[in-house]
Structure 1
């Protein structure tokens, strides 16, 4: 069995790095050539606090209790839904929602995310 020379090791390492970089670039782009969007802070907050009761475009697990909240995409597409109406709603206690204290900056992020679900 032949031993590899220093030049051989360097070529092997460089080849491995080039292959890893190429795989990373392929992974970071979709088939249409665009890079996938990272989850916004609002989306992460909704996923942490809201998806237990609210679906996002019908993706929630069907629950047996009668306190299932409305789909957030449907809320976003209601004619009366605005940033102001969502902010007021998030700051108002509701009997059928848990008492989560949402900081104003988090509320802004959640509102921005919900409004981003609106379909034209």
Structure 2
């Protein structure tokens, strides 16, 4: 019984290490978004935005209940008729997703 209790304690202690951590650099994601996305989206909260309002702000995207790291990755890798296809590298995708997720806080 004691061995089982120790095993359970050790397993429980390692659970945080097994939790998936976010990858990507939000600061790099902001730079990419400012370069590529700011002509259609308001990229920073309270920042300058496009002349029209056809595209949602990054903050409103981040705050949608359906927005997760996974949903953003799927969306950004799927061609959309109203959005240019930037062919993001894995690192660029990670960075843009990390920036968008940072706006949830």
Q: State the TM-score, normalizing by the size of structure 2.
A: 0.68
Question: Do the aligned partners of 2:41 and 2:49 also contact (CA within 8 Å) in 1?
Answer: no
Structure 1 unaligned segments of length 5 or more: list them. 1-38
Larger RCO (alpha carbons 8 Å, 6+ apart): 2
Q: CA RMSD in A?
A: 1.7
Identify the residue that residue 100 of structure 1 maps to in structure 2: 86
- Pairs aligned (count): 79
- The CA deviation at 1:98 is 1.1
Structure 2 unaligned segments of length 5 or more: list them. 1-25
Question: Do the aligned partners of 1:41 and 1:109 also contact (CA within 8 Å) in 2?
Answer: yes
- The CA deviation at 1:57 is 2.3
CA radius of gyration, larger in: 1
- The CA deviation at 1:69 is 1.2
Q: State the TM-score, normalizing by the size of structure 1.
A: 0.60
Distance of aligned partners of 1:61 and 1:80 in 2 relative to their CA distance in 1, 3 Å threshold: closer
